[in-house]
Amino acid sequence: MKYSNEYGQAITSMARAIAAFALAISATAAHAQSANPSSHSWLAPAKSALLKNPVEPEVDSITQGRDLYSQTCMICHGPTGKGDGPAAAALQPHPGVLSDPKMWQHRDGELFWKISNGKGPMPPFKDALTEKQRWNLVNFIRTLSPRPANLPVEDTPPLASEIVPNESVSATAAAESVDGYVTRAEYDQLQRQLLALQAQLKSLAAASGQTLPDVAVEDIVLPSIPSETTASQLEALQAEVDELKQVADGGKDGRSDFLLTGYAFSGYTDIKGQAGTFNTGFNPIFLWSPTERLLFESELEIGFADGETELDLEYADLSYELNDYITVGAGKFITPFGIFRERLHPAWINRLPDAPHAFGHDGLIPPGVLGVQVRGAVPVDSTTAHYSLYAGNGPMLNVGDDEPDEIGNQHFNNYSDFSRNKTFGGRIGWLPFPELEFGYSGQFSKLNATGTSASRADATAHGPYLSYVRDSEWLRGQLDLKAEWVWSGVDPLTYDPNGDLGFGPATFSNERNGGYAQLAYRPTHAEIQIARDLEYVFRYDRLDRPSGALENADVSRYTLGLDYWLSPTAVFKVGYEFGTSRETGAESENINGLLIQAAMGF
Amino acid sequence: MNTKPKTFFAGTAGLLIATGFLVIGCSTISKKSDTNPALIMAPSGAQLWAENCARCHNFRSPTTYSDGQWRIAGHHMRLRANLTAEQERKIVEFMQASN
């Protein structure tokens, strides 16, 4: 077919532009994606593919391979190689299915090369594992898929005609080769076939008692003699590429030690006795780390309250790693008391649309502390222990001059330390094995009780927490159990002793306690995608208030939740709460509620 | 500190439950080591990623962040989840190798 000159030129410049554009992209991406082959198919170079497995697939090797597999591969490739490990959902491209009998189309050398070099989300294990360990892995991976009956005897390279091309390479090879050039993949494929033929020839020669001269196939170089036109075109192309590279380099991201992350949510809450309302919130998190040891972190909480936009500084603290076991910090930080506040409160992490009683913003422990902290973790044999200690501005006791309903409550938003007394607290935790963690937290404060029968009062809070998370084949999914409780007490006092405030004298034992137990299950090993994306949640939570206080309702709830995960950090949650509230001496009141929330972490 | 007997009962119950889990956990561990004698190895970055991150949240793809960003995210998470220095270092290395 003949094209007019102009048309031909247009095609040439289009091709040039495409090539230059592709080069510019790869130049820009080079610093992020180092040396990853860009083609869809993943082929080992012929020389590596034909490498002979020096480790016999015997019990020892396979057992060691299995242990390595469960330590390094299972997280993505799954316990039986189905590509359904717990992390699989987060990965693109999806982890390879090692249980597929098609695995036998790959030689041991190819598997070894792939393990060594990695690609995309699969990291290279060249440095992390010894050669022997990688061969052990190959031997174990072989046990994950049944060996096809028609496979040639071991140690004999498959016949050239039997080498099944990897993915689409040879299907398109013929079509692509008409331009007179071969692609890298085609070249590798041809080289591999040649090597296989050479090996076959050698074995035939050996059988007939002849010797053949040694020719190293990898030394064969395809001659490349560009014509004059091609040469000038190449030159022009090179100039364009150089120019584009310069432009691309200029636009490269700077190496800033800053990370902007956070989360957002939008929802609807309809609780009996209250007007149903839409709600939303946006919590950006700013992280700066100018050196290895220094970190500044801050979370803003932007939302609506009482008809106004509200901006809260959830935390803003500087921390410095003294050594592997001690980090010191100062500022406003999330209270290291229990685990809900510190670890689970972000909307994309919390499996339900609301916080459990006792651990929410109006709970029994301070959401944040303005002060200093020391924390760290220590490996103890194969277990881990950790500690956190803090000191900060003490809470304020409500003595009734403002919101008399809430007498005896502690207010934690104490940014100027009214009582001139500090609060001290800490938490210790232990992980006997990675799936299980439990610990205990405690806090002690001296409160300013002026206006009551005493001038000062002691306040304590303490309680245990437990976390158990396990993804297993026999559970066909992931089980996530969390539970924590807190007992909070303030010395008994008489509020409004002279009756000046109009409700006293009121004396009561100021003991409160509350907590939750939550169980979530996600069938991460289900066959159907939609089943894997659903998570079922059950939570029981309660808060007991002192019976002599003005606000004395004991509240408890059973919550059923269904979450649909659109991505690992985006979720749509629906929860129904069966709640009751019972004031001292009164009938219990139903406070059922429906909560809907969409949340996203970024 | 005003401690009621109720507090003690509940606290004891909590500890008992925790101990129960511990016993179950240890028996699982000993079963594991029965089958793999003398094969105790330091856990890899991939394994630590699997064990530690899912305790609170779903796995983020390694491609979510650049190498520098993973360093900061790792530091932030070491504080938040009380990870050991080695856990943080290995997880970050794994994420940086996989992004």
**pLDDT digits 0-9 by tens, A11-46:** 454 445 444 444 444 444 443 333 343 435 677 887
Q: Per residue in A447-466, pLDDT tens?
A: 888 888 898 899 999 999 99
Given an 8 Å threshold on Cβ–Cβ distance, is A295 in contact with B72? yes
Residue B9 included in any domain: no
Min Cα separation B14/chain A (Å): 7
Query: What does A295-350 look like in DSSP terms, one character per residue?
Result: EEEEEEEEEEETTEEEEEEEEEEEEEE-SSS-EEEEEEEE--SSSIIIII-STTTS
Secondary structure of residue A459 in the 3-state scheme? strand
- Structural domain total, chain B: 1
| Whole-number pLDDT of residue B18 | 58
Tell whether the model's pLDDT for residue A159 goes beyond 50.
Answer: no
Task: Spell out which residues of chain B touch residue A474, defining contact as CB-CB under 8 Å.
Answer: none
Domains of chain A: 32-240 (1.10.760.10), 258-601 (2.40.160.10)
More confident residue, A89 or A486: A486
Predicted local distance difference test score (pLDDT) of residue A194: 82
Residue A282 confidence class, pLDDT cut points 50, 70, 90? very high
User: pLDDT tens, B82-98?
Assistant: 999 999 999 999 999 88
B17 occurs within a structural domain: no
Closest Cα in chain B, distance from residue A90 (Å): 5
Tens digit of each residue's pLDDT (9 = 90 or more) over A201-212: 877 877 777 666
Average pLDDT estimate for A529-540 = 96
To the nearest whole Å, the CA of A152 is away from the closest chain B CA by 33
Interface test with A, best of B8, B36, B58 (most A CBs within 10 A): B58
Q: What is the pLDDT of residue A22?
A: 47
Examine residue B76 and state whether it is found in any structural domain, yes or no: yes
pLDDT: which is higher, A212 or B58: B58
ipTM higher than 0.85? no
Q: Are A74 and A85 in contact (CB under 8 A)?
A: yes
**Hey, of A66, A115, A261, which one would you mutate to test binding to chain B, going by the most B CBs within 10 A of its CB?**
A261
Amino acid A538: pLDDT:
98
User: Among the listed ranges A90-99, A175-184, A357-366, A587-596, which one has the minimum average pLDDT value?
Assistant: A175-184
Partners of A286 in the β-ladder? A260, A298
| Mean of pLDDT values over A254-261 | 81
CA distance A309 to chain B (A): 28
Instruction: Note the pLDDT tens digit of each residue in B6-36.
Output: 555 565 566 566 555 554 554 444 444 444 4
Residue B1: inside a domain: no
- Segments in A118-270 forming alpha helices (H): 131-141, 169-177, 184-207, 228-250
Please give the pLDDT value at position B31. Answer: 42
Token pair for residue A488?
């909070």
Q: What is the mean pLDDT of residues A473-495?
A: 93
Percent residues over pLDDT 70 in chain A: 83
Residue A574 has a pLDDT of 98
Q: Which pLDDT band, with edges at 50, 70 and 90, does A221 fall under?
A: low
Q: What is the mean pLDDT of residues A508-536?
A: 94
| Predicted pLDDT at A256 | 65
Higher confidence at residue A233 or residue A154?
A233
A413 band by pLDDT with thresholds 50, 70 and 90: confident
Structural domain includes residue B3: no
Containing domain of residue B61, as a range? 45-98
> What pLDDT does A43 receive?
79
Nearest CA in chain A to B7: A487
Structure tokens at A68: 């390595």
Residues of chain A found within 8 Å of residue B44, distances taken between Cβ atoms: 71-72, 128
Q: What is the pLDDT of residue A125?
A: 87
- Averaged pLDDT of chain A: 83
Average pLDDT over residues A156-170: 42
| pLDDT for residue A353 is more than 80 | yes
Strand residue runs (E) in chain B = none
Non-local CB neighbours of A68 within 8 Å, separated by 6+ positions? A129, A133, A136, A137, A140, B41
Q: Determine the Cα–Cα distance for residues A600 and A538; give it in Å rounded to an integer.
A: 21
Give the pLDDT confidence score for residue A24 in this predicted structure. Answer: 44
- Predicted pLDDT at A3: 43
Confidence band of A90 (pLDDT split at 50, 70, 90): confident
Count residue pairs from A and B with Cβ separation < 8 A: 186
Residues 6+ apart with CB under 8 A from A113: A44, A45, A48, A49, A51
Q: Is pLDDT at A145 greater than 80 in this prediction?
A: yes
Residue B88 lies in a domain: yes
> pLDDT: is A16 or A413 the higher one?
A413
Q: pLDDT band at residue A218, thresholds of 50, 70 and 90?
A: low
Q: Does B65 touch chain A (CB under 8 A)?
A: yes
Percentage with pLDDT > 90 across chain A: 46
Which two three-digit tokens encode residue A384?
């881990």
Give the chain A residue nearest B62 (alpha carbons). Answer: A121
Q: Considering only the beta carbons, identify the residue of A91, A257, A432 that sits closest to B61.
A: A91
Flag if B55 and A376 touch (Cβ within 8 Å).
no
Share of chain B above pLDDT 70, in %: 59
CA–CA dist A333, A343 (Å, integer) = 12
* Whole-number pLDDT of residue A429: 97
Q: Does B27 touch chain A (CB under 8 A)?
A: no
- What is the pLDDT at residue B39? 42
Q: Is the pLDDT of residue A109 over 60?
A: yes
Q: Is the pLDDT higher at A42 or at A523?
A: A523
